[in-house]
Structure 1
Amino acid sequence: MAKLLYSVTMSLDGYIAGPGGDMSWMTEFFAPNPMIGELIPDIGALLVGRTTYDGDDPHKDDEGAGKAFGGGWEGPQYVVTHRVPEQAPDGVTFVPDLATGLARAKAAAGDKYVNVLGADLARQLARSGDLDEVLTLIAPVLLGDGTPLFHEPGGRKVKLERIHQSAAPMATNLWYRVV
């Protein structure tokens, strides 16, 4: 059965996007990361929030523009949105609610990961108890403002257990299981 993995690159001060959703800050930290190279074949589907889907693409100025993991992964993507368009790009399915997206992504992923993209989507999945793991690649930069890795108004503690920790050329990889 598929597991849900929230994977994300984050600044050292906890932001996954800069002010206004800016993702351009990531480009200088793109470098081969062996752990990501090993993970990508284990991803069976993406579950994506609409803000993330419509957001800034850190690969917009290279050959990976508009592609998951800069073109390193291909497969079914399920975008959760209240604004379902009449047409979608190949491989992308827009779904009207989280329950539908979750069911479809898990079915498509089989025994591989459903990779969750989007802070709000990850927060909702943590709240519902559906999130299984969190992989954070910490980039050596301070942004000072933007979209936080996890924000729950009023606070919420989500206990994590470390699975793996490693260093890559331009990031520190921290992988946790949601307890």
Structure 2
Amino acid sequence: MAKVLYSVTASVDGFITGPDGDMQWMRPYLGPNPEVDDLVPRIGSLLIGRRSHDGDDPHKGEAGEGQAFGGGWSGPMYVVTHRPPSDPDPGVTYVDDFAKALAQAKEAAGDLYVNVIGANIAKQCLEAGQLDEVLVFYAPVLLGDGTRLFDHAGGRTVRLERKSVTETPQATSMWFSVI
């Protein structure tokens, strides 16, 4: 059965995008990473928020632009949106209901991970009790503003259990199970 994983790169001050959804801040930290290399073949599908799907790409202007993990992964992608495009991207399924999209992504993933892309979709997974794991690649940078890794008005405590910590020249990753 598929597990739902939120894997994301964040600044040390907890932002996953810069102001106005900027992802170019991430470019210096996209170098080789053995943990990413190990994760990618374990991903069976992607569950993506529409803003993330349509947003800035840290691989802009490079060979992997517009592709998951800079072209390092391919497979079924499910975009949660109430505004499906009139000219949909090939290989992408647009679903207007979060629960349906998650169910389809889990079925497509089989025994592999459903990898979540987007803070809002990760929050919805968490609120539905469907987020199993969180993998954060902390880049050594402070952004000061942007989209937070996790934002809940009024606050909310979510207990995590650390599975591993890995250091590379580009980032320090922390992998957690959601309790």
Query: What is the aligned partner in structure 2 of residue 155 from structure 1?
Result: 155
For residues 56 and 171 of structure 1, the distance between their equivalents in structure 2, rounded to whole angstroms, comes to 21
Find the counterpart in structure 1 of residue 56 from structure 2. 56
Aligned to 1:2: 2
User: How far apart are residue 151 of structure 1 and its match?
Assistant: 0.1
Corresponding position of 1:36: 36
| d(CA) in 2 for partners of 1:68, 1:85 | 19
Which amino acid in the other structure matches residue 75 of structure 2?
G
SS in 1 for 2:39: helix
Indicate whether 1:171 and 2:177 are aligned.
no
Superimposed CA distance per residue, residues 72-130 of structure 1 (whole angstroms, 9 cap, x where no aligned partner)? 00000000000012332221000001011001000000000000000011011111110
Equivalent pairs counted in the alignment come to: 179
Question: How far is the alpha carbon of 1:154 from its aligned partner?
Answer: 1.3
TM-score between the two structures when normalised by the length of structure 2: 0.98
- Corresponding residue for 1:116? 116
CA distance in 1, matches of 2:11, 2:150: 13
Aligned residue identity for 2:152: E
User: Which residue is 1:138 aligned to?
Assistant: 138
In structure 2, stretches of 5+ residues that fail to align are none
Three-state SS of the structure 1 residue aligned to 2:4 is strand
SS at match of 1:20: helix
Deviation per residue, 1:123-169 (Å, 9 max, x gap):
11111110000000000000010000000111111100001111012
Q: Does 1:93 align with 2:104?
A: no
Identity, % of aligned positions = 59
The answer as to 2:20 corresponding to 1:16 is no
1:10-67: CA deviation from partner (whole Å, max 9, x where unpaired): 0000000000000000001111110110000000000000010011001012111000
Q: Distance in 1 between matches of 2:74 and 2:32?
A: 18
Q: Which amino acid aligns with 1:71?
A: G
RMSD of aligned residue pairs (Cα, Å): 0.7
TM-score normalised to structure 1 length: 0.98
Q: Which runs of 4+ in 1 moved over 6 A?
A: none
| Letter aligned with residue 2 of structure 1 | A
The answer to whether 1:27 aligns with 2:31 is no
Letter in structure 2 aligned against 1:55 = G
Asked if 1:67 corresponds to 2:67, the answer is yes
Distance 1:65 1:13 in 2: 26
CA distance in 2 between counterparts of 1:86 and 1:132 reads 33
Moved more, 30-39 or 87-96: 87-96
